[in-house]
């Protein structure tokens, strides 16, 4: 019985560690350093239920890099959006055609641009915070991206993303909608 008890304790410990690893994986800190890509995936494929939320924090300053002698930067052409996870191919096609994903209202929901960030910094001026709640009828699997619509430019920033659904008691549930365990059925 001592061996059986140890086995149960070990199994319980392994299960708890596995759950803890899954939960913490939905809070991400992503440093982006002088990256010139037009599209940068930030958080991929999270299943939101109605009332689920995305909380974003970006440490300031954000650095924009352009070629020497370039026109002044239009901060409305740099931003973040969410899209249905299955829209990846459409996004790549839009970029290949020279389109700006911040203008693609068919496939994207723009959350904010760098211009929005500038006017809503914290009192200390060192952080921008944004929160978005999934509306009724909009539940689904979404991905979060950064995009820029200015050629020959790059950006540096540090972003923290918190993705979660809300439990009936108001607590955060970091499991994607498709990862929740099904109720156990007992048959006698």
- The pLDDT-based confidence of 65 (bands split at 50, 70, 90) is very high
Is 17 part of any domain? Answer: no
23 in a structural domain: no
Range of the domain at 142: 29-179
The tokens for 34 are 């002088």
pLDDT of residue 17: 45
Structural domain contains residue 153: yes
pLDDT at 184: 66
**Does 133 fall in a domain?**
yes
Residue 39 inside a domain? The answer is yes
Looking at the 3D structure of the chain, how many domains does it have?
1
Per residue in 89-143, pLDDT (tens digit) is 888 888 888 889 999 778 899 999 999 998 888 878 789 999 999 999 999 999 9
For residue 11, tell me if it sits in a domain: no
Instruction: Tell me the residue ranges of DSSP E strands in 6-67.
Output: 27-35, 39-48, 53-66
Burial of 79 per CB tally in 10 Å (0-12, 13-18, 19+): buried
* Measured distance CA(109)–CA(90) in Å, rounded: 14
- Cα gap 155→78, rounded to integer Å: 9
What is the predicted pLDDT for the residue at 107?
83
Instruction: Annotate 95-128 with DSSP letters as a single string.
Output: HHTT--TTT-TTT-EEEEEHHHHHHTB-TTSSEE
Domain membership flag for residue 2: no
Q: Is residue 49 in some structural domain?
A: yes
Closest among 130, 105, 133 to 119, alpha carbons compared: 130
Distance of CA 6 to the CA centre of its chain: 40
Determine phi and psi for 152, rounding to 5 degrees: 55, 45
């Amino acid at each position: 019985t001592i061996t059986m008890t140890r086995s149960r304790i070990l199994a319980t410990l392994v299960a708890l560690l596995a759950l803890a690893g899954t939960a913490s994986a939905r809070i991400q800190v992503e440093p982006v350093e002088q990256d010139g890509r037009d599209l940068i995936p930030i958080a991929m494929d999270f299943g939101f239920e109605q009332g689920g939320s995305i909380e974003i924090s970006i440490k300031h300053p954000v650095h924009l890099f352009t070629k020497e002698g370039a026109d002044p930067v239009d901060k409305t052409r740099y931003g973040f959006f969410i899209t249905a996870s299955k829209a990846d191919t459409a996004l790549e096609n839009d970029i290949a055609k020279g389109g700006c994903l911040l203008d693609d209202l068919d496939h994207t929901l723009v959350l904010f641009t760098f211009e929005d960030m500038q006017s809503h910094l914290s009192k200390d001026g060192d952080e921008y915070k944004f929160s978005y709640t999934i509306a009724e009828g909009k539940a689904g699997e979404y991905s979060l991206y950064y995009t820029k619509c200015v050629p020959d430019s790059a950006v540096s920033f540090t972003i923290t993303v918190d993705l979660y659904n809300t439990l009936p008691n108001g607590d955060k549930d970091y499991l994607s909608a498709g990862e929740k365990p099904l109720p156990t059925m007992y048959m006698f």
